[in-house]
Structure 1
Amino acid sequence: MRRLRQLAERTPAGRERYVDLLRALAIIMVVIGHWGVTVIGYDRAGRPTGHSALGDLPWAWPLTWVAQVIPVFFLVGGYANAASLTARRSRGGDATGWLVDRSARLIRPTTALVVVLTLGAAVARLRGADPVEIRTVVWFATIPLWFLVAYLIVVPLTPPMYALHRRFGLLVPLVLVGLVALGDLGRLLGPAGLATGNYLFGWLAVHQLGFAWYDARSPSTPRRRRLPTSRRAGAVLLGGGLAALVLLTIVGPYPVVMLNVPGERLDNAAPPSLALLAVATAQLGLILLLHDPAERWLRRPGPWQAVIAVNSVVLTIFLWHLTAAVLLIGVLNALGVLPTPRVGSADWWAWRVPWLLTLTVVLAALVAVFGPIEARTRRHGEPTPGGSVRTALAVAGYAGVVAGLLLNSLTRKAAPEPLGLPAPALVAYLAGAGVLRLLRSGWGSRG
């Protein structure tokens, strides 16, 4: 508490505290959402298995317009990346140094998860566990890495995309939305491959709005680069986003649900669709409407210290929340007391409360163990000189990390993987993370 109080007291007066609150709330909502819709049962072999309850609860689909908060994370990510890149350059640093240092906060806690899951899988294999069963467990625990792959791809694009923003402003996200629309036409009319680019274009569009929000802080910034942040603008965005969403889903061809539901004609989130971007627009409007009261509330010491505490381990919370579910299910199954009520039944709803509370305890224990890895990540104050060799190494290292995580995400759940993650994915990820760690230590700075 003393450290939190000191950090709160040292917060710069001009810091946009609301951005930190939104990041914390977005991750907490993802965690609660995943836990809340989880259905536990047994497969034909008598092993515990899980799936989402959304397919059995169609009345809850409109609630995903609020619960799908990944766009909020990309919005605040764009704001934070623009702020840190601008600060880095003001101190004489370059984009390569910014990326190398920026990677630390993302990769260190991710490496902890990857290593622990791999070691756990190796021990399980030595004890005779089936490689398919090992992979199934690790696949479930690494579902959060799907999102992290998308964000890790967007982060290194910040320097060139921010340069485009400085030249063309809000025209850039408009063009990206047009590309998403083209991809959606491919999904609806063919060829479906046109939609592959939406994985990048959709999240980049939201990330660009974060740039515009950051630039709105300065009245001297040209209007084309500034996000309108008045209450009137918030109301227009909220109303316009909801109107577009109703037209696209109720009238148009898009599903109402904003999360994956097997059997639906489209998945609005993978890749991002126009309907999901309409959700992002409405959410942005609501964010702007709540800005002023939230900022006043965050000027109080208690709420701001709580936000600081969550943000110091926010990625750890996100990365480990499904591992907490795996551990709890395993323990309850071993004890023979794992409840498997029918979705939507009174017993299922009654089980939600102890289920969420127990998972919170398990996750808190995991965060207590692994959170310091993220919380102690150092932020380098002085730019490190570099050259073409260092830039090439940074790109190669970052590409290795992304390739490793992407390969794991694309590997099917029932693949026989004795280490849980595919061996090529492990090699690529650990090699890339190792190169970036060496660069952060100053190695290669004279290249």
Structure 2
Amino acid sequence: MRRLARLAARTPADRERYLDLLRALAILLVVLGHWTIASIYYDRHGQPDGHSALPAIPWAYPLTWAVQVMPVFFLVGGYANAASLAAHRSRDGDWGGWLLGRSARLLRPTTALVLMLAGASLVARLAGAEPSMVRTVVWFATIPLWFLAAYLAVVPLTPLMYALHRRFGLVVPAVLVLLVAVGDLGRALGPADLALANYLLGWLAIHQLGFAWYDARRGNCRPAGNGPVGLRSRCLPMSARAALVMLAGGLAVAVLLTAVGPYPVSMINEPGQRMANAAPPSVALLAVATAQLGLILLLRERAERLLHRSRPWQAVIAVNAVVLTVFLWHLSAVVLLVGALHGLGLLPTPQAGSAAWFAWRLPWVLMLAGVLAALVAVFGPIEARTGRTTASRPPATDTDRAGGTDTDRAGGAGRSRGDERPAGRRARNVLTVAGFAAVGYALVTNSVTAKAAAEPLGLPVAALLAYLAGAGTLRLLRSGWGSRG
């Protein structure tokens, strides 16, 4: 508590604390949403399995408009990436050093999860478990990694996308939304492969709005060049009137697209949906994200006043210190609890949507919270130490102090140009991109590999090797290996 109090007291007055709160709340909503909607049952082989209970309670589909919070992550990430990139450049750092710094906080806790799952899978195989069963367990535990794969695709594009933002402002997300609509048209009329680009374009559109929020805080609204501003403004409209327009307009469009148009009401994907909203992101999801942004902006001033009080701000700091660990391990907690209850013969499997299923929600969530707390106690220090290490490096400007967050502050941790020879810097940049590409490939490969595939290590072998190679390369580069050319 004393350390939290010291951190709270050292927080710069101009920091956008609301962003940290948004991240913490979004993580908690994801965790509670996954836990609450899970329905456990026994398959035909007598083994416990799980699926979403949403199809059994279709009246809950509109609630997904509130609990689908992936857009919030990309919005906050856009702000934090813009802030840390600006601070890094103010120290004469290059884009490669910035990108390398971003990898630390993201990959260290993720590597712990990957290694633990691979090791546990090996032990299970040696104990006689079937490869398909091992894969099923690991597949469920690694569901959170699909988000990290999407984010790792967006982060390396930040220098380019922020340059476009500085030149064209809000025109960029508008064009990205139009391209998402083209992809949706391909899903509806063909060819369906047109929608594959939406996996990137949809999240980039929201990420750009984070840039606009950052520039609105800095008062830097005019685009590069001369001429009228208009839609080319760099700044997100922050007034209450603009927020109300976003909220009402986003809801109206979302209702129209789901009630009259071809999109499902649920913003969380369900099996058999042709026009699924989240994978890839659809225009309907972007409309809901617009409404969420309007609500977020409406609550901003009140939240900021609250967060300038010590106790609420300390709570937000505490959550953000281990926020990625909570996200990465929350479904592993489900695996462990189900395994324990199954082993004891105490696993209840009420029918999804039944009275017994609803009655089981509270004790289920409370037990999962206990398991997750134990996992965070073990693995949380990996993330927390990373945050303390990168935070200990004094930022050069108020931009970094105000814009960085506990999850993203590592972005300012690159070497300046003067510390490296040009040849060494170029080699480092190439290896950094290669490392990100290898990690991204590994996470995507794991996500698309079948749930019951015969994978002896739970994770596809090619994906595991690519992940270890990519993460290992980035770790070596962060340690300074080869930096002197």
Give the Cα separation in 2 of the matches to 1:253 and 1:98: 42
1:346 Cα deviation from its structure 2 partner = 1.2
Contact 1:92–1:383 under 8 Å retained in 2: no
Q: What residue is the counterpart of 1:431 in the other structure?
A: 469
How far does residue 85 in structure 1 lie from its aligned partner after superposition? 0.7
Q: Distance in 2 between matches of 1:307 and 1:297?
A: 11
- Structure-2 residue corresponding to 1:403: 441
* Equivalent pair of 2:220/2:235 in contact (CA under 8 Å): no
Per-residue deviation at 1:383? 4.1
The residue number in structure 2 matching 1:364 is 373
**Residue deviations 1:7-33, cap 9 Å, x none?**
111101110000000011111100100
Structure 2 CA distance, aligned partners of 1:266 and 1:181?
Answer: 12
Partner of 1:12: 12
The answer to whether the 8 Å contact 1:26/1:69 transfers is yes
1:289-304 equivalence runs, <5 A: 289-304=298-313
**Counterparts of 1:136 and 1:27 in 2: how far apart (Å)?**
24
Equivalent positions of 1:127-138 (< 5 A) are 127-138=127-138
Within-5 A mapping of 1:30-429: 30-222=30-222, 224-377=233-386, 378-379=389-390, 383-384=414-415, 385-386=419-420, 387-429=425-467
Secondary structure, in 3 states, of the residue corresponding to 2:452?
coil
Q: 1:110-137: per-residue Cα shift (whole Å, max 9, x none)?
A: 0000000000000000000000000000
Identify if the C-alpha distance between structure 1 residues 227 and 266 changes in structure 2 by more than 3 Å, giving closer, same or farther. same
TM-score by length of 2: 0.91
Report the CA distance between 1:219 and its aligned residue.
Answer: 2.5
Structure 1 distance, partners of 2:442, 2:266, is 30
Alignment RMSD: 0.9
**Percent identity between the aligned chains?**
70
Counterpart Cα distance in 2 of 1:281 and 1:32 = 23
2: CA distance, partners of 1:383 / 1:51: 43
Aligned residue for 1:155, secondary structure, equals helix
Distance in 2 (alpha carbons) for counterparts of 1:136 and 1:426? 16
1:263 offset after TM fit, Å? 2.6
Letter of the 1:170 partner, please give it.
L
Contact 1:74–1:210 (CA under 8 A) maintained in structure 2? yes
Query: How big is each residue's C-alpha offset from its partner over 1:336-390, in whole Å with a ceiling of 9 and x where there is no partner?
Result: 0000011111111110000000000100100000001001112155641441111
**Deviation by residue 1:186-243 (Cα, 9 ceiling, x = unmatched):** 0000000000000000000000000000000123432600000011111000000000
In 2, distance between residues paired with 1:443 and 1:46? 51
CA distance in 2, matches of 1:346, 1:253: 32
Q: Is the 8 A contact 1:91 1:383 kept in 2?
A: no
**Which amino acid counterpart does residue 61 of structure 1 have in structure 2?**
Y
Please give the per-residue CA displacement for 1:373-418, whole angstroms capped at 9, x wherever unaligned: 0011121556414411111111111111111111111111111011
Give ranges in structure 1 of 5+ residues lacking alignment: none
* Stretch deviating more after TM superposition (221-230 or 129-138): 221-230
Q: Work out which structure has the larger RCO, using CA pairs closer than 8 Å and 6 or more positions apart in sequence.
A: 2
Deviations 1:253-301 (A, max 9, x none): 1100000112333210000000000010000000000000000000111
SS for the counterpart of 1:376 is helix
Separation in structure 2 between the aligned mates of residue 4 and residue 284 of structure 1, nearest angstrom: 29
2:90 partner letter: S
Q: Which amino acid aligns with 1:374?
A: E
Distance 1:102 1:148 in 2: 13
| CA distance in structure 2 between the aligned counterparts of 1:219 and 1:49, rounded to whole angstroms | 52
Are 2:220 and 2:234, in contact at CA under 8 Å, matched by a contact in 1? no
Aligned length: 447
CA distance in 2, matches of 1:3, 1:91: 29
1:209 aligned counterpart, secondary structure: helix
TM, length-normalised to structure 1: 0.99
> Hey, what's the Cα distance between the residues in 1 that align with 2:477 and 2:136?
35
Contact 2:29-2:69 within 8 A present in 1 as well:
yes
How far did residue 303 of structure 1 move? 0.6
Whether contact under 8 Å (2:101, 2:414) holds in the other structure is no
Moved more, 42-51 or 221-230: 221-230
Letter in 2 for 1:181: A
- Equivalent pair of 2:100/2:414 in contact (CA under 8 Å): no
Unaligned runs of 5+ in 2: 223-228, 395-412
Farther-moved stretch of structure 1 (399-408 vs 269-278): 399-408
Note if contact 1:242-1:279 (Cα within 8 Å) is conserved in structure 2: yes
